Chain A
Amino acid sequence: MPEFPQLGALWVYLAASPLLGLTLTLCAYLAAQWIHVRCRSSPLANPVAIAIAIVVAVLMLSGMSYQRYFEGAQFVHFLLGPATVALAIPLARQMPTLRRTFLPLTAALCAGSAGAIISSALLVLLLGGSATLAATAAPKSATTPIAMAVAERLGGVAALTAIMVIGTGIFGAVCARFLFERMGVHSHQVRGFALGVASHGIGTARAFQVSPEMGAFAGLGMGLNGVLTALLAPWLVPLVLRLFA
């Protein structure tokens, strides 16, 4: 910026501290929420996707590196750990429901969780992706903090897993209705649980828009699948990889 030498110097000064990355993250998120509401909360105008697009656009236009941005944004990123622990609280509140339909829910959860891990890893390999990419995609139905931690343990790219998880959430939330109608699944409990297992928090948010009952079952599916993916993926992914080696 030759016309504004002081402005350029100010930018360099601010960009050197973690302040800018943190501010950018919060402002982009608030702007994304505003856009989401303006789009009448359509599942297509997903706030996470919009906020990421804003941050990416600012980084690209300003030439700020991702590492520099993350120095500030890591304070937000760090909260994913405590947030994962906090998922125990809504889960504990669903305990009576869990007890009542324990067997069908457990069986559906196991099928869905294993199905998600195996189908994702297998599809990546069948479509010519690497083993790293298979480990990256495998835990994508779990909620982001869990999926990222699992991918990291398996040797995947955690940042890419986050993008896969968010994509899975949006895709599931948009497509579920058409799939369920084709299958003839009408129960809100069944629809909600499947949405939570497949599309975690974004699917759960979508389910709550339809009915509270569907939302509660989605929350249950999300919480349970997060745990089960963390338990199953470390065993299932190497199994799939060995099949292709």
Chain B
Amino acid sequence: MLHTLAILLLFQCLGEGVAFVFRLPVPGPVIGMLLLFATLLLKPRLHALVEPGATELLRHLSLLFVPAGAGVVAVGASIGGQWPALLGALAGGTLVTLALTAAVLRALARGKAPDA
């Protein structure tokens, strides 16, 4: 677990560093994830070292959303009358995304995937 955490934090630092130096609009942890992804493809042996701890961390991914989500008490008042816009975008945007992704994949994967 400690090894995993050290490696994850190291890649996060690398990602933050790259984002800062090259002034990228992409969040540092995302760049860290891409760097770790590339490293795992080049050095598959690293998998055994990071996998157990990372699986444990990702299993409780839901817990990590709670502090930010509870922020609804702090921002609730400042949103005021704009809730309909947010809820409309939430429902509409999600349906558009689901339909678009499924339609494109079905059209292109026909014949390639066994049951598409």
Which B residues are CB-close (under 8 A) to A108? 101-102, 104-105, 108
User: Which residues of A pack against B, CB within 8 Å?
Assistant: 21, 25-26, 28-29, 47-49, 51-52, 55-56, 59-60, 66-67, 69-70, 73-74, 76-77, 79-93, 95, 101, 103-105, 107-109, 111-112, 115-116, 119-121, 123-125, 127-130, 133, 136-137, 140-141, 144-146, 148-150, 153, 157-160, 162-168, 171-172, 175-176, 179-180, 183, 185-191, 193-195, 197-199, 201, 221, 226-227, 230-231, 234
Which B residues are CB-close (under 8 A) to A159? 68-69, 71-72, 74-75
Whether A107 pairs with B104 at a CB distance below 8 angstroms is yes
A95 to B73, CA, bound (A): 41
Instruction: Tally A-B pairs: CB < 8 A.
Output: 322
**Beyond A172-B98, A179-B98, is A190–B106 a contact (Cβ under 8 Å)?**
yes
B36, B82, B88, B100 — most chain A CB neighbours (10 Å): B100
A233 to B8, CA, bound (A): 25
Which B residues are CB-close (under 8 A) to A187? 106, 109, 113, 115-116
B97, B108, B112, B113 — most chain A CB neighbours (10 Å): B97
Whether B112 pairs with A104 at a CB distance below 8 angstroms is yes
- 1/0 per position for B38-51, CB-CB distance to A under 8 A? 00110000010011
From A52, A171, A172, contact of B70 by CB (8 A): A52
Instruction: With CB as the reference atom, state the residue of chain A lying closest to B87.
Output: A167
Closest 7 CB pairs of A and B: A159-B71, A149-B27, A112-B101, A129-B85, A73-B67, A234-B25, A108-B105
A172 to B86, CA, bound (A): 15
Whether A128 pairs with B12 at a CB distance below 8 angstroms is no
Whether A150 pairs with B61 at a CB distance below 8 angstroms is no
A58 to B63, CA, bound (A): 17
From A47, A137, A201, contact of B86 by CB (8 A): A137
A93 to B105, CA, bound (A): 21
A77 to B103, CA, bound (A): 36
* Smallest beta-carbon distance B112→chain A, Å: 6
**Beyond A120-B93, A162-B69, is A194–B32 a contact (Cβ under 8 Å)?**
no
Which B residues are CB-close (under 8 A) to A109? 101
**Beyond A115-B100, A193-B101, is A70–B12 a contact (Cβ under 8 Å)?**
no
Whether B104 pairs with A111 at a CB distance below 8 angstroms is yes
Which A residues are CB-close (under 8 A) to B47? 89, 92-93
Instruction: With CB as the reference atom, state the residue of chain A lying closest to B54.
Output: A86
From B36, B66, B88, B112, contact of A25 by CB (8 A): B66
Which B residues are CB-close (under 8 A) to A26? 63
A136, A150, A194, A234 — most chain B CB neighbours (10 Å): A194
Jot down 19 A-B pairs with beta carbons below 8 A, ordered by A.
Answer: A25-B67, A48-B69, A52-B69, A73-B70, A86-B57, A87-B58, A88-B11, A92-B40, A104-B108, A116-B97, A141-B97, A145-B64, A160-B75, A164-B90, A171-B94, A176-B98, A179-B98, A190-B116, A201-B62
